[in-house]
Amino acid sequence: MEIDRLLLILATLAFAGGLVHAMVAIKAGTWKKSSWHLLPMVTGFILQTAFLYLRGQDVGRCPLTNLFEVLIFICWSIVLLYFLVGSTYRLSLLGVFTAPLVGSIQIIGLVLPIDRAPSSELASRPVNSILELHAAISLIAYAAFALACTTGVMYLLQERLLKKHRIGGLFYQLPPIQGLARAIQRLALLGFVLLSAGLGLSFGLDASASNPKLIFAWLVWGLYALICFFMWRHVLSPRQTAWLAVIGFALPFFSLWIVT
Amino acid sequence: MPDDHSSPEPKLACIGLNYRTTPVEVRERIAFAEAHLPGALESVRELPGIGEGVVLSTCNRVEIYAAHDLDDPQAGHEALRRYLVDHFQLSPGEAEALVLYHLDHEEAARHLFRVVSGLDSMVLGETEIFGQVKQAYKTAHENGATRRSLNKLFQHAFRVGKRVRNETAIQRGSTSVGSVAVDLAEKVHDLRECRVMLVGAGEMSRTCAQSLMSRGASSVIVSNRSHERAVELAAEMGGQAIRFDEWESRLAEVDVLISSTSAPHFVIKTDAIEAVMKERRWRPLLVIDIAVPRDVEPTVNEVEGVYLYDIDALQAIADEGRRERERQLSLCEQIIEEHLEKFGFVPFSPRPQGDQLPA
């Protein structure tokens, strides 16, 4: 087995280990806020970074040459944003919800035959730094949408627990719903701004307007522009916004499968 | 008592009274003022055969832990009891009526481990007692009233307290209506930004509002049919009083609404709340209805962003919290027995549940 794939398997195990530990502790009622919960996420992130570094060395460019690499790059961006967002909004349990998302995407990437070697045409093409920057920023934007989706799930869960008066273990561990609602808004906005920047760079590329990747990227941009507008004008309730953040993520996620 | 390793190991003793054995009228008579503790510790240490002492005095208990080298443990208990009677100048009748528990060595250690873990507290699993025991030990240590035996015992007790807190769910959940209200408010808003409104100034709503304010809620507005009562309660909590006909117009400003009027019909209707939510731009609203008959139309809970809890819902959550803590008891006792063994006592057969009161 190649060393880079091994690193990725270890990263997936780190996320899974963190998730199992957290679930057991929540069930037993002994889960507490602690910086130790970051350990599996930090370990997984270091291993992901090592994977991307080795792949970058191997392909001689930003490792976004196939769907597998794109998925792993998104996972890496999700964990990166988790570190930034987690400390800013104190969403202590976000890691528990992020780990399964990242772990699942990585498993899909590892299991499916999508890790194909770049074509000779692509391998011989000179590195275009604007194209790489455009792709990297756009994928980090998708990672922000993924975190908005995760936070949306947390919001919907906490909202349901509050409405149904189910005050138990998970209720005590989830953050206040108002904080979650704000986090969804900020993450969706962050993703929208990043995607706008990424798509802005595409104007400097020699890309055809009918390029399916760009068409889907603009569709995603349009969807999140609409979500951000609704949030700004308070058209939708936080619950509806959370649903939109959760369901809306399906578009960027599946568009990657279609176009990559 | 010299700290000599070759001398026989001192024995532990504990005498005390608590909320189970003694009514508050007597407890307040026997309580040690903080300023008198150094003197009390010195007196305990000077009792014949007793070389170390820690005095724990809280609103729910007064206990003296001591290490002695007396052959007859009863003599140690008797000396401590006499000291209490003399110190508080109890009349012969009061001394006769004084009910104290006397615990020796292993039982004294077990009792301290249970106390520090919150298992002997009025509210099972409460954590304040941990700090109180720590303070009592610190005072004794600083005044030279503890040596090897009690230092070892108390350090071990703090380890037990931490383990119980970290490895069990004994502190999980709320056990009173007031603390349930705080927990709910904390899961809807950041409490520091939380504004509270009381509609009706009953005792229960006052308790809930005080719990919220003590945990950091930013402000409180009080509205009551008797404006004088609203002014009085607002002054007590550092809040603002408004007239009863104004509360609806101020509802958009607040995050938690606690209602406890004596009206025989619904005071807070769904239409009014729906209108307010638009004005609030979807900022969530927690509505706590502790009135009987209820003040708030039950369909208010169906309004987007509104979370309604009536007295039955609050009570059910508090009851579940108590049951959850009780379910953790055997796990806590297991940790305590493990530590007693580590401390040098032989394994003890678990005692039946519910027998928490020392003999």
pLDDT, tens only, A190-220? 999 999 999 988 887 776 667 777 888 889 9
Report the pLDDT averaged over residues B331-359. 68
Quick one: pLDDT band at residue A33, thresholds 50, 70, 90? low
**Cross-chain Cβ contact B281/A234 below 8 Å:** yes
Q: What is the residue-averaged pLDDT of chain B?
A: 87
**Cross-chain Cβ contact B187/A177 below 8 Å:** yes
**For B82-192, where are the E strands, in sequence order?**
101-104
Q: Which chain B residues contact residue A32 at CB under 8 A?
A: 166
Q: At what angle do helices A3-28 and A94-111 cross, to 10 degrees?
A: 140
Query: How far away is chain A from the Cα of B254, in angstroms, using its nearest Cα?
Result: 14
pLDDT number for residue B130? 93
For residue B164, what is the nearest residue in chain A, using CA coordinates? Answer: A30
Query: How far away is chain A from the Cα of B331, in angstroms, using its nearest Cα?
Result: 12
Place of tokens 């990297």: A136
Angle, CA B79 vertex, CA B75 and CA B81 arms, to 5°: 115
Helix (H) or strand (E) holding B208: helix B203-214
Query: How far away is chain A from the Cα of B328, in angstroms, using its nearest Cα?
Result: 10
10 Å Cβ neighbour count for A208? 8
**Cross-chain Cβ contact A177/B324 below 8 Å:** no
Question: Which tokens sit at A21?
Answer: 């530990």
Alpha helices by DSSP H, B22-104: 24-30, 37-45, 73-87, 92-97
Q: Which of A159, A165, A180 to mutate to test binding with chain B, by most B CBs within 10 Å of its CB? A: A165
pLDDT number for residue A162? 94
pLDDT number for residue A225? 94
**Cross-chain Cβ contact B307/A167 below 8 Å:** no
pLDDT number for residue A23? 78
Residue A52 has pLDDT above 90, yes or no: yes
Query: Between A63 and B117, whose confidence is greater?
Result: B117
Q: Which of B282, B287, B319, B322 to mutate to test binding with chain A, by most A CBs within 10 Å of its CB? A: B282
Query: How far away is chain B from the Cα of A24, in angstroms, using its nearest Cα?
Result: 12
pLDDT, tens only, B75-127? 888 899 999 999 998 888 888 888 899 998 899 999 999 999 999 998 888 88
Q: A257 at the B interface (CB within 8 A)?
A: no
Residue A258 has pLDDT above 80, yes or no: no
Q: Which chain A residues contact residue B183 at CB under 8 A?
A: 167, 172
Q: Which of B162, B187, B308 to mutate to test binding with chain A, by most A CBs within 10 Å of its CB? A: B187
- Euclidean distance between CA atoms A248 and A245, whole angstroms: 5
Place of tokens 């003590």: B214
pLDDT number for residue A89? 54
Instruction: Report whether B61 contacts B119 (CB < 8 A).
Output: no
- Euclidean distance between CA atoms B134 and B266, whole angstroms: 49
Q: Which chain B residues contact residue A171 at CB under 8 A?
A: 187
Residue B339 has pLDDT above 80, yes or no: yes
Q: A179 at the B interface (CB within 8 A)?
A: yes
pLDDT number for residue A87? 59
Q: Quick check: is B59 catalytic?
A: yes
Residue B3 has pLDDT above 50, yes or no: no
**Cross-chain Cβ contact A176/B320 below 8 Å:** no
End-to-end CA, chain A = 25
Which one of A28, A167, A177 has the shortest CB-CB distance to B284?
A177
Specify the DSSP class assigned to residue A109: H
**Cross-chain Cβ contact A169/B172 below 8 Å:** yes
- Cβ-based interface (< 8 Å): residues of B facing A: 166-169, 172-173, 180, 183-184, 186-190, 281-284, 301, 304-305, 307, 309, 313, 316-317, 320, 324, 328
User: Number of CB pairs < 8 Å for A and B?
Assistant: 61
**Cross-chain Cβ contact A163/B301 below 8 Å:** yes
For residue B180, what is the nearest residue in chain A, using CA coordinates? Answer: A167
Query: Between A222 and A252, whose confidence is greater?
Result: A222
Q: Check B59, B194, B208, B332 and give the catalytic one.
A: B59
- Euclidean distance between CA atoms A210 and B23, whole angstroms: 85
Percent of chain B whose predicted confidence (pLDDT) is above 70:
94
Residue B237 has pLDDT above 80, yes or no: yes
- Euclidean distance between CA atoms A100 and A105, whole angstroms: 8
Give the C-alpha distances (Å, rounded to integers) separating A119 from A4, A62, A214, B123: 20, 15, 21, 69
**Cross-chain Cβ contact A238/B305 below 8 Å:** yes
pLDDT number for residue A60? 82
Report the pLDDT averaged over residues B156-176. 88
Residue B221 has pLDDT above 60, yes or no: yes
Strand partners for B221: B197, B240
Report the pLDDT averaged over residues A1-7. 84
φ/ψ region of B125 (left if φ > 0, alpha if ψ in -120 to 50, else beta) reads: left
Question: Which tokens sit at B134?
Answer: 């720590």
Q: Which of A19, A63, A24 is nearest to A41 (CA)?
A: A19
**Cross-chain Cβ contact A237/B188 below 8 Å:** no
pLDDT number for residue B357? 44
pLDDT number for residue A207? 67
Instruction: Report whether B76 contacts B102 (CB < 8 A).
Output: no
Q: Which chain B residues contact residue A234 at CB under 8 A?
A: 281-282
Q: Which chain B residues contact residue A174 at CB under 8 A?
A: 187
pLDDT number for residue A92? 56
pLDDT number for residue A1? 62
pLDDT number for residue B287? 95
Residue A221 has pLDDT above 70, yes or no: yes
ipTM, two decimals: 0.77
pLDDT number for residue B358? 42
Percent of chain A whose predicted confidence (pLDDT) is above 90:
30
Report the pLDDT averaged over residues B165-181. 84
Residue A58 has pLDDT above 90, yes or no: no
Q: Which chain B residues contact residue A182 at CB under 8 A?
A: none
How big is chain A by its Cα radius of gyration, in Å? Answer: 19
pLDDT number for residue B359? 34
What residues have CB less than 8 Å from A56, skipping those under 6 apart? A62, A63
